Structure formats: structure tokens, C-alpha cells
Structure 1
Amino acid sequence: MVFSQQMMIGWLVALVISGLSGCHSSGTIQNVDGVRQFQQGQPQAALQSFQQALAANPQNADAYYNMASTYHYLGRQNSNDKMLQQAESLYHQCLDMAPNHVPCYRALAVLLVDTDRPKSAFTLLERWAERTPQLADPKVEIARLHDEFGETDLASRRLAEAIDIEPGNARAWTAMARLREQDGHYAQALNDYQHALRLNNAQPGVAQRVASLQQRLASDPNLLRSGTRTANQDSQWRQR
């Protein structure tokens, strides 16, 4: 199975975000240069910049992640198994440096599915969740994977668990809203998007989804009959 275009875009955007994070750490300038080069269609130059970032700071998890993502991209584009193997190794090195690096877990799961190892992808994320029961992020990523395989009920269940663990996790609420919108529960989806936006108004695309759903519901009030739920009822998610 090859991941959907939406999933792949999210993975590549994560490379950019990671490259711009940690602005006070060694190797950050090279990371930023590499991200810019990647965006400009110069992946080989980007690899050199990420290698320089690692030379400046061998503990820089973002540099490992960015290198891995670039090799992953090149491996997919060129059907190059060696590059994909290199990417997988670098993803693991990133996780050795930063055991809860969310974009790295997500991208490694993508790679495992792309290389016909979906069970390994689920195992990777499930073990992360078991090691860190206090974190919502692993369950959000497991939900993302279930959704990609069309297992929306399982995805919803995992997101409910994530919200129970961390009611203020904006990513979990956004993912839940997306599921509700896909299922046609537009009023409920709007409520969840709005709550996610209140928690973090910098999430890409969320404000646009709120505006789109508001317009849709205003043009067809019958859609409101799909029902909704307030953020204060998050403790009842498990009953779905």
C-alpha cells in the first residue's frame, strides 16, 4: 500500500516544521538551509546541509529526521531501495536521540507501510503508546494510521483515548473533527474544529475548515440534525 497524497503532504510539511524548530540549538542554521533547499527542489543540496548540521551537533535529532525524510523522498521518487533503507536507519537514529519525536514516528510508519510492512508500522506506534501511556500523541498517530486503512471506528476509538489522556491536545481534536466531517456529521465536526482552534489557532487549515463548514451549515440547516457534542463532553467519547 502507498499512502494517500494527503498523508504524504503532511509528512513533507513535518520536515519543514522540524527543520525550523529548536532555533537556539547547534546546527539549526544548516537545518534551515536544508529545508529551504528541499523546498526549492534541491534535495541533494539539502542532504549536504543536514550533514553539516550533524557535524555541528551529532545529537541533533531534527537533522537525523530531515536527512531521513529527504532520503525517503528520493527513494520513493527513484524507486531506490538503498535510499529507503538509509532513510529507515536514520529515522531510528532520530528516535534514539529523541524517543518521542512525533514527526519521526509518523514518517517511519509511512515508510514501513510503503515497503509493505503495515503490521510493523502498527507495532512501532503501539509500542510507543505502551511506553508512554501519559502521552496523547502516540494514539493520535495510531488513529491516523487506522484512518489511512479505512478503519474509521478504530481511529475514532484511539482519538477518544487520546482526548481522555490530554483534553487539551489540539491535534487530537482536529483529527476527530476530520473523522466526523468524513462521516457527514458536519455540526459535530464544526464544534470539534472550533475547539481545536481555541486550543491552538496556528494549526494549518483548521480555520479554513471552520469557515467552510459554517458556510455549508448556513446554506443547509437540515445538516444541523446530524447532532453535535460540546467540548465539555469529552469524557463521554469512549461511549461512541
Structure 2
Amino acid sequence: MPAHAYRQTAPLSPPDRQSEQETARARLTVVHPEDFVAVTQPSPVSPSDRSALGLQRPLFTWMVLITSLLIGMVVATLSGCHWAAGSQNTQGAALYNQGQYTAAMEQFQKAIASNPQDPDGYYNLAATTHRLGNQRQDPNLIRQSEALYNQCLDHDPNHIDCHRGLAVLLVDSGRPDRAFTLMKNWAAQNPTSSEPRIELARLYEEHGEPETALKYLEDAVQQDANNPRAWLALARLRETGGDPVQALQNYQRALAVGGGALGPNGPMATERVAALSRQLNAANDARLNAGGTQIATPIPFGSTRY
């Protein structure tokens, strides 16, 4: 079975946590800027109105303070949920990498309980259940993992790893037509995104249709010329297809636009650039030697040029 990517959700760093708080605050704010006009730009008040103003301003101030307090409590709760889920996902990922799948599933279940809106928790639990179901040949676990993949997509319709995992499951369970439908529907819903096309290309390649896969990857780099995953997939496909010149250029482009975003694929791409360069240089040297190419004998000449 083709292995699908495993996603680890690490705890949020302090800057990310701050940005999440700001996002949550923006979404939860119920006091609009225009509500503060009377405070920031007060109109002139006659002495006779001062007593009335003295009664109104504390009330308004208390309303603002209470609203801010409630928002702060909600944000703190949401932030705590994100931190708890992130930590539990990280612990689960470590257990998964150690082969302790049952223990990993428990951590991912806790992550979902901590933050039921987090798609990564559902994906992690789905991928682990899928792995365990394959190991035990347990159809019930496979059905559970399929449901979890779909829950992940309910929360994030563009979750790349989840689409990949679900497609693998559908192929393994004898439903490749459903896998292609899944990917094609995803691509149709995101006509300007390169990611669905990358996954469709992988699916076609795995089913012995490299030419169709190549077309989808060429489309993907046209959609997003700065997607390192697309260039890397295109380079690998062209290398296996016997086109080292184009493969070398594609690997170089992946490195140029990807940088650190390639992760563990970065060293691999660098190695392939070096290997293909040596291969092409050796081929050029062999052609020159086979043709008996020699440097032309210089002809004596006179010149006033220098």
C-alpha cells in the first residue's frame, strides 16, 4: 500500500498563540467601533447636563469592561484548548512514531475532546486507526478511519493530508473510482489551487498512467509557479520517465522556490541535482570523446588590434 503522509501538530509557539488570540478576539468582538464615538468624540455638555452624564458614563464603562472581560475569558478558554490539543497531538505523534498506535489513538482522542474543531486531531486519529486497521485486517477499524477522515474534511475541506489518506483507504478497499471522484471533486471546487492536481497526479501515477499524471503536474505548476511540492513531483516523474534534463531543471526550481519549506525532501532534491548533473556531464564528455573532437590548429595571423 502506498504510504500516506503523517501529520504532526506541534504546540503553538508564543507568536502563533498571540495571533490566534487576536483572531479569536476579532471574531468574538460584539462592540463595534461606532459604539465608542460618544466616548472618543464627546459633544459639548451644558452644566445642567453634567449630573446626567455622570450617571451614564459609569454605566457605559461597566458595559465595556464586562464585554471585554467576557471576551477575554472566551479567548483564554480557546487558547487553552488550542494548547492542550497541540500538546496531545504532539504526544500522540511521538507514540505513533514509536509504533505504539493504541496509545497514540488515546492522545488523539484527547486532542479532539480538547478542541473538537481542530481538523488535525481528526486526521491524526484517522491515520492511526487506518494503520492499525491494516495491520489487524480489521474492517471495523477501516470504517472508523474513513468516518474520521470525513470528519476532518468537514472541518477543513482543503486538508491535503486527509484527502491523500482517504484516497489511499478507498483504493485499498477496492473503490479506486471513489478515490478519483474525491480528488476530481476537490480540484473542481478549487480551480485555482495546485494541491488537488498534485494529489490527482500521484493517484494516476500509482495506477500506471504517468502521461496523465504529467499533464496534471504541468497544470499544477501553471496554477502556482511557486509551489515546491508541484515542482518536486514533476521532477521526480520526469526523472523516472527518462528525461534527466527537464528533471534537473525541475529539481532546481523546487529548491529555488521551496527553501526550507521542502523539509526532509530538501536534502533529497539537492542530492538528485548533484547526481543528475554528474550524469549529464558524463554523457556530454562521452559524446565529445566518441566524436573525436579536437581543438583546431591555430593559423598564424598578423593583427594591429592589440
> 2: distance between equivalents of 1:169 and 1:21?
26
**Amino acid across the alignment from 1:199:** V
Q: Which deviates the most, 23-32 or 123-132?
A: 23-32
1:166 is aligned to 224
Q: CA deviation at 1:190?
A: 0.7
SS at match of 1:20: coil
2:277 is aligned to 214
Over 3 Å counting, the alpha-carbon distance change for 1:68 and 1:140 in structure 2 is same
CA displacement, residues 150-198 of structure 1 (integer Å, 9 cap, x when unaligned): 1011001111111111111111111111111011111110110010011
1:177 paired residue among 223, 235, 238: 235
SS at match of 2:144: helix
2:23 is aligned to none
Q: How does 1:169-208 map to 2 (within 5 A)?
A: 169-202=227-260, 203=262, 204=265, 205-208=268-271
2:208 is aligned to 150
CA displacement, residues 125-156 of structure 1 (integer Å, 9 cap, x when unaligned): 00001111111100110001001111011001
> 2: distance between equivalents of 1:85 and 1:217?
49
1:71 is aligned to 129
Residue 104, structure 1, aligned to residue 162, structure 2: yes
Over 3 Å counting, the alpha-carbon distance change for 1:22 and 1:109 in structure 2 is farther
Over 3 Å counting, the alpha-carbon distance change for 1:56 and 1:189 in structure 2 is same
Over 3 Å counting, the alpha-carbon distance change for 1:90 and 1:177 in structure 2 is same
1:47 paired residue among 85, 105, 114: 105
Over 3 Å counting, the alpha-carbon distance change for 1:22 and 1:207 in structure 2 is farther
> 1: distance between equivalents of 2:142 and 2:105?
14
**Amino acid across the alignment from 1:213:** L
SS at match of 2:276: helix
Over 3 Å counting, the alpha-carbon distance change for 1:222 and 1:81 in structure 2 is farther
Over 3 Å counting, the alpha-carbon distance change for 1:153 and 1:21 in structure 2 is farther
In the alignment, is the contact (CA less than 8 A) between 2:9 and 2:120 conserved in 1?
Answer: yes
* Alignment RMSD (CA, Å): 1.8
SS at match of 2:272: helix
CA displacement, residues 10-48 of structure 1 (integer Å, 9 cap, x when unaligned): x1xx32x44338664340010010000000111111001
> 2: distance between equivalents of 1:111 and 1:60?
22
1:91 is aligned to 149
Count of residue pairs brought into register by the alignment: 214
Residue 132, structure 1, aligned to residue 176, structure 2: no
> 1: distance between equivalents of 2:98 and 2:184?
36
SS at match of 1:167: coil
TM-score, structure 2 as length reference: 0.67
In the alignment, is the contact (CA less than 8 A) between 1:88 and 1:111 conserved in 2?
Answer: yes
> 2: distance between equivalents of 1:154 and 1:68?
29
SS at match of 1:19: coil
1:227 is aligned to none
Q: How does 1:217-236 map to 2 (within 5 A)?
A: 217-221=280-284
5+ long unaligned stretches in structure 1? 225-240
> 2: distance between equivalents of 1:100 and 1:142?
14
Over 3 Å counting, the alpha-carbon distance change for 1:184 and 1:120 in structure 2 is same
> 2: distance between equivalents of 1:223 and 1:58?
62
In the alignment, is the contact (CA less than 8 A) between 1:186 and 1:223 conserved in 2?
Answer: no
In the alignment, is the contact (CA less than 8 A) between 1:217 and 1:223 conserved in 2?
Answer: no
In the alignment, is the contact (CA less than 8 A) between 2:248 and 2:276 conserved in 1?
Answer: yes
Q: CA deviation at 1:119?
A: 0.3
CA displacement, residues 196-234 of structure 1 (integer Å, 9 cap, x when unaligned): 01111232122222222223223333799xxxxxxxxxx
Q: Structure 1 segments of 4 or more deviating over 4 A?
A: 21-24
Identity %: 42
